[in-house]
Amino acid sequence: MSTAGQRLEPPPTFGLRITPWAALGSRRAGRLIERNIVVYRRGWPLLVSGFFEPLFYLLSIGVGLNKLVGGIDVHGQLVTYTAFVAPGLLASSAMNGALFDATFGVFFKLRIERTYDAVLATPLTPGDVALGELTWSMMRGALYSGAFLVVMALLGYVVTPWAILCYPGAMLISFGFAGIGMAGTTYMRSWQDFDLISLALLPLFLFSATFYPITVYPGWLQLVVRLTPLYQGVALLRGLDFGFFTWSLLAHAVYLVAMGVVGLAVTGRRFAVLLLP
């Protein structure tokens, strides 16, 4: 029996052999989510701040560039430029929402505040922590995506009723980027390492076929873009929004799921290595 102030040792199977799958059926990860909700109770402006960047992009394009560019042909269907860009910005919103907590939030708790050291003094395991943080990051992505999709509908940028499927599609994007973002963060040692994230996100955002059809790129660049993670989300949401259901949408979804699963597995193992004695 443990006493107050004494560290609760995890079962031996949660050592270096930890896998996040052990936490999938556990409610313990929910305790970490409850903790995050309490912390953000007074900091809600910070929670919603990242939603406005893609929103401002959407509004500025609708007011200005939309009239200059004219219509865009998508699989034989002529749509306005803003309607073409909107699903891509929705994908960016889902990515931004998930990445903020999966990178900055996890790094602060892991390296600065040492929150996880205290968390692992409870019955929670590294797998629980990884699953809880991934779920929390997805919740932020869900908040951004849902609000952005509502704005799209109110402004008339939803092309077909199938756009309702963009919301679960956005959740896949959040899942993928949250998993891979957490995994990368566990290897960071200082705030300067976040320059690498910014260096990766800018070209990822600009060269994801969000603002232009992928056919405008040279052949070699098209291949590179098709392999990038954000393009998978943009193509998935654009296909769902326009009602173009092809097997390629399944491939995009599998790509994003694989990102999240691999990232979750790596994060669970890294937490075990970094935090367990």
Within the chain, which residues score under 70 in pLDDT?
A: 1-26, 43-51, 53, 63-64, 66-67
Measuring CA to CA, which residue among 243, 172, 110, 26 is closest to residue 18?
26
Six-digit token pair at 3? 């006493």
pLDDT for the residue 49: 62
pLDDT for the residue 44: 62
pLDDT for the residue 22: 43
Alpha-carbon span 209 to 227, nearest angstrom: 12
Six-digit token pair at 132? 């809880």
pLDDT for the residue 261: 96
In this prediction the pTM is 0.85
Alpha-carbon span 165 to 205, nearest angstrom: 22
Q: Is the dihedral of CA 100, 104, 108, 110 positive or negative?
A: positive
Alpha-carbon span 232 to 227, nearest angstrom: 8
